[in-house]
Chain A
Amino acid sequence: MTQKIIAKEELYKQLNSLAKDFEIIGPKDLFNKGFFYERLDSAQELYLGEGFTTEPVKKFFLSPSEWLFNCQYNNGKNSLEELSLPDKKRIIIGVRPCEARGLILLDQVFGSQGYKDEFYLNNRRRTIIIGLACAKPDAACFCTSLAGSPVESRGMDVIIFAKGDEEFILEIVTDKGKEIFGALGQVLNETEKESHALEKEKNKELVIPKIKVPESLCSIFEDAYWQEVSRACLDCGICTFLCPTCHCFDLVDEQRKKLRCYDGCAFADFTVEASGVNPRPTKKERYRQRVFHKFEYFKKNFGENLCVGCGRCIRHCPVKIDIREVVTNIPVTENK
């Protein structure tokens, strides 16, 4: 894996020169609103500091609202019109390791088994991901407790590490990344490589393990515990929409077009049936479903927890529900 050091100016120059063939997307500092991924006109608009974006990069792959096809109605006959997929290539820079891992988990749902979702896969194919390693995790981060790390490059094509204010260390991960950024910067010498490796180890330690996921949650399905932990929940959907791994959606017909938009088990009418019966009538069932889907059911189907420890749900929950606390304190019974 090639490791180089480059000046910020050189990286920005390269990004700007690519702007005619690629859409450049990266975090922007929107002052008292927070950091958000936006399409950039120039690399100078980038924010590559320590703050974390509110919305994860997931929205550029599984779109929050997407039209799937149109239906025309002419002379009393319906006919379907397919929409062409966007083909503009993109570079998304500033993606944190947790978000990139989230994409790998989403690939399992939308790309691997059974039906392949071309809308999602097309977005994956036309995107180059430049990850940004985390220099300073905050109190809500817990990626290392879930087999993640603030300095890993899984799911990325290139990863950059901030070195002071004016330089980055750049690691090329895939051929896609090499094609675009392989020519930049100077190769690290041995001393530099060593100190970089040490730095990475140090950063990993900064993320304090804060969650302990029980082996199996099944024994505590029926338990007053869920009533207690979900009491403050508002059923609002922020945790779902800001999560890099949540992917539930709704299919709606609007004006003869098929819309796919974000949805979630947090919403009260997610499971309401035509008869009006709702198998998850209260917050207790819905919050329990969230925890179980992430730490039990997905694990059973795909072998991993559906959570990357990014901390967004904790940072932005309006009533400070902390999923780490909820999962760690699950009163698991010792015997099966």
Chain B
Amino acid sequence: MENVYLPNLAEIVEIKQETLDVKTFTLKFCDEAARQSFDYKPGQFVEFSVFGEGEAPFCISNSPTRKPNIECSVKRTGKVTEALHELDIGDTVGIRGPYGNGFPLEDLKNKNLLFVAGGIGLAPLRALINYCLDKRDDFKAITIVNGARTSKDLVYKAEYEVWKGAKNTQLHLTVDCNEENWTCMVGVVPKILEQIRPTCQDSVAIVCGPPVMIKYTMPVLLKLGFCEPSIITTLEMKMKCGLGKCGRCNIGPLYICKDGPVFNYAQVKNFIHQ
């Protein structure tokens, strides 16, 4: 019987402490066949089960070009994530998916890409950034703007050198307030965008971060000349089943888990208040 609610078993093979409350888990499917056949697009997510505690959706934060293991970055906020943070290497969890529409890769080809991330919002973008870097010649200039409240909240620090060193790629880091020994930019992400003035010609902006950051970043991008269909974001509402059935993530006629979580600004501005 095909049980759409039944997860695949996966083993935790690595745990990286990114910040005080964020860990990145590397998972290997227990079943060889499942491991080989699991394929996904950057931007898709999985329903992660901690047996006995619950299930929660997390985006896959490593690029599908770096399979077969997958990585999920998890911030400790509630019942399931607390339990997840208690797990060790070797423990088994459940993975259901991949779900969601993923980033529109065809629309990004041969374009300049502007990645704008805030805090843990870098997680879904990392999958796409590394995908683009692995297929470097399919894309033009890449600019990454990554901000956090403090330097302690910046995630994926290990990637920064690699990204800085990649062909035709710029990385701008920023924190909200100045700190000792901080050498990069200071200021909230929207302000930094105004300073950098990335080009809107032939460009697509991909934004992900806390609601307040998105709210103030959108007008800046529009002012810089980005048109609404070229601003892409990935939304998060409470999702449960991932299959477009349980109704939780229903917003307007859409289900975030099925028709999203990736949307462009033209679609999102209609229901940002819903």
The contact sample of 13 A-B pairs, CB cut-off 8 A, is A80-B7, A115-B245, A118-B2, A119-B3, A250-B246, A251-B240, A263-B247, A270-B238, A270-B248, A271-B248, A274-B56, A274-B78, A300-B253
A109 CB contact (under 8 Å) in B236, B245, B253, B274: B245
Residues A251 and B55 in contact, CB atoms below 8 Å apart = yes
Instruction: Please tell me which one of the listed residues A249, A256, A270 contacts residue B52 in the complex, with CB atoms under 8 A apart.
Output: A256
Does B81 have its Cβ within 8 Å of any Cβ on chain A? yes
User: CB-CB < 8 A to B258: which residues of A?
Assistant: 114
B1 x A82 contact (CB < 8 A): yes
**A88 to B55 alpha-carbon distance, docked (Å):** 31
Do A110 and B245 form a contact, CB below 8 Å, given A116-B2, A273-B236? yes
> A78-B94, A84-B1 given. 4 additional CB < 8 A pairs?
A69-B6, A118-B3, A221-B274, A251-B241
A258-273 at interface with B (beta carbon < 8 Å) = 258, 260, 263-265, 270-273
Known: A79-B9, A116-B2. A248 touches B51 (CB 8 A): no
Contact A253 B245 (CB under 8 A): no
Asked if A80 and B243 make an inter-chain contact with CB atoms under 8 angstroms apart, the answer reads: no
- Sorted nearest first, the 3 A-B pairs with minimum C-beta distance are A248-B247, A300-B253, A78-B92
Q: Is the CB of B253 within 8 A of A297?
A: yes
Select from chain A the residue with minimum beta-carbon distance to B99.
A115
Least Cβ–Cβ distance between B190 and chain A, in angstroms: 20
Q: Which residues of A contact B (CB under 8 A)?
A: 68-69, 71, 73, 76-80, 82, 84-85, 109-110, 113-119, 122, 221-222, 247-253, 255-256, 258, 260, 263-265, 270-275, 277, 279, 289, 293, 296-298, 300-301
A118-B2, A248-B248, A279-B274 are known contacts. Are A253 and B49 too (CB-CB below 8 A)? yes
Expressed in whole angstroms, the minimum distance between the Cβ of B70 and any Cβ of chain A is 18
From A289, which residue of chain B is reached at the shortest CB distance? B250
Shortest C-beta distance, A65 to chain B (Å), equals: 14
Instruction: Decide if A265 touches B4 in the complex (CB within 8 Å).
Output: no
With A85-B1, A256-B52, A271-B238 in contact, do A249 and B6 touch (Cβ < 8 Å)? Answer: no
Chain B residues touching A, majority SS: loop
The residue from B3, B91, B248, B253 contacting A69, defined by CB atoms under 8 A apart: B3
**Hey, which chain B residues are within 8 Å of A301, CB to CB?**
253
> Which residues of A sit under 8 angstroms from B94, Cβ to Cβ?
71, 78, 80
A32 to B51, CA, bound (A): 43
Give the contacting residue for B51; candidates A76, A78, A110, A298; CB below 8 A.
A78
Chain B contacts for A114, CB-based, 8 A = 243-244, 258
- Contact of A68 with B3 in the complex, beta carbons under 8 Å: yes
- B→A interface (CB under 8 Å): 1-7, 9, 49-56, 77-78, 81, 90-94, 211, 236-238, 240-241, 243-248, 250, 252-253, 258, 273-274
A273, B238: Cβ atoms under 8 Å? yes
Chain A residue nearest to B83 (CB atoms) is A253
A222 touches B246 (CB 8 A): no
Q: With a CB–CB cut-off of 8 A, which chain A residues contact B7?
A: 80
CB distance from A233 to the nearest CB of B (A): 18
CB-CB < 8 A to A260: which residues of B? 5
Instruction: Give every chain A residue within 8 A of B54 (Cβ-Cβ).
Output: 252-253
Asked if B246 and A248 make an inter-chain contact with CB atoms under 8 angstroms apart, the answer reads yes
Which A residues are in CB contact (< 8 Å) with B243?
114-115
Chain B residues within an 8 Å CB radius of A85: 1
Report how far A248 CA is from B118 CA in the complex, Å.
Answer: 32
A69 touches B53 (CB 8 A): no
Q: Give chain B residues whose Cβ lies under 8 Å from the Cβ of A251.
A: 5, 55, 240-241, 246
Contact A253 B238 (CB under 8 A): no
- Residues in chain A near residue B93, CB distance under 8 A: 78
A71–B92 Cα distance when bound, in Å, is 11
Which residues of chain A are within 8 angstroms of B238 by Cβ–Cβ distance?
270-274
Contact yes or no, A73 B273, CB < 8 A: no
Among A78, A114, A247, chain B packs the most CB atoms within 10 A around the CB of A78
Q: Report the nearest A residue to B211, measured CB to CB.
A: A277
Contact in complex: A117, B4 (CB < 8 Å)? yes
| Separation of A86 and B274 alpha carbons in the complex (Å) | 40
